[in-house]
């Protein structure tokens, strides 16, 4: 018996459109591994001179060694890691001359950031920061509670860079910041340094609050010159 041809109409519904929503970066991507290792190096959880073993990192992050190798290459480009023949990748060390070069550069760039931020952002934005540095930050120094002090200092720094509105400047500051973060922590434990630094930031924020962009730049540069002088004076203790 002949079978009857199906009379059921074919579906004319359009095929599903491709999902064009932005995809999230995969877990433990190269960029994420770089950020984790940058943070560890900056906080000295991984000490200068420490060896970075690809096999150990691949196991920790659950990724192929090729992905770890790409992350180490990115860190090498930022001069946070150096590859030594027959020894592999190691966390870079800073010598005294490099430290002085970086502080000279920070003086110019962070001074410019303070100037631009003062010009572009309203004084009220800096008044809030000023009140924090006059009150809670002073209490932190009095208690010698430096970890939250440093966190708030870094928040102010990010606020200034954001307000400056110059992406090239932000990128340059980001590159050199991680190289001096460990030194900043060591400098702050020197006698009287944390309070002196707080007073310098109060003076800078007063200038920013009143719209004095030239004064803000000058005071930020003075603050970094004094930090550099502390490094030079106590180099055998902090380097």
Q: Please check whether residue 23 lies inside any domain of the structure.
A: no
Percent of the chain topping pLDDT 90: 53
Question: How distant, in Å, are the alpha carbons of 94, 96, 194, 236, 238 from that of 233?
Answer: 17, 12, 16, 8, 10
**101 and 168 assigned to the same domain:** yes
pLDDT band at 49 (very low <50, low <70, confident <90, very high): confident
pLDDT band at 225 (very low <50, low <70, confident <90, very high): very high
pLDDT digits (tens, 9 = 90+) for 78-99: 778 888 887 889 988 777 888 8
Residue 146 has a pLDDT of 86
**110 and 43 assigned to the same domain:** no
- Specify the number of domains making up the chain: 2
Residue 11 has a pLDDT of 43
Q: Please check whether residue 24 lies inside any domain of the structure.
A: no
Q: Is the pLDDT higher at 102 or at 16?
A: 102
pLDDT digits (tens, 9 = 90+) for 150-171: 899 999 999 999 999 999 999 9
Q: Is the pLDDT of residue 114 over 90?
A: yes
**100 and 75 assigned to the same domain:** no
**125 and 167 assigned to the same domain:** yes
**185 and 157 assigned to the same domain:** yes
Q: Please check whether residue 12 lies inside any domain of the structure.
A: no
Strands across the sheet containing 81-84: 51-52, 88-91, 81-84
Q: Please check whether residue 139 lies inside any domain of the structure.
A: yes
Q: Please check whether residue 5 lies inside any domain of the structure.
A: no
In terms of residue numbers, what domain contains 52?
30-91
């Amino acid at each position: 018996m002949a079978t009857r041809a199906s009379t059921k109409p074919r579906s004319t519904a359009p095929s599903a459109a491709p999902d064009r929503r932005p995809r999230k970066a995969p877990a433990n991507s190269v960029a994420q591994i770089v950020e984790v290792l940058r943070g560890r190096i900056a906080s000295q959880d991984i000490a200068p001179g420490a060896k970075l073993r690809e096999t150990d990192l691949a196991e920790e992050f659950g990724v192929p060694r090729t992905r770890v190798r790409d992350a180490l290459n990115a860190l090498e480009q930022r001069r946070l890691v150096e590859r030594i023949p027959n020894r592999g990748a190691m966390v870079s060390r800073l010598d005294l001359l490099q430290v002085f070069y970086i502080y000279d550069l920070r003086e110019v760039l962070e001074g410019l950031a303070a100037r631009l931020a003062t010009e572009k952002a309203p004084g009220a934005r800096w008044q809030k920061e000023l009140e924090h540095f006059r009150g809670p930050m002073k209490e932190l120094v009095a208690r010698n509670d430096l970890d939250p002090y440093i966190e708030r200092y870094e928040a102010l720094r990010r606020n200034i860079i954001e307000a400056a509105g110059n992406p090239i400047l932000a990128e340059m500051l980001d590159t050199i910041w991680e190289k001096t973060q460990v030194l900043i922590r060591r400098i702050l434990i020197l006698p009287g340094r944390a309070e002196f630094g707080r007073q310098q930031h109060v003076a800078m924020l007063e200038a920013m609050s009143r719209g004095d962009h030239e004064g803000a730049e000058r005071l930020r540069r003075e603050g970094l010159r004094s930090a550099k002088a502390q490094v030079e004076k106590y180099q055998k203790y902090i380097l």
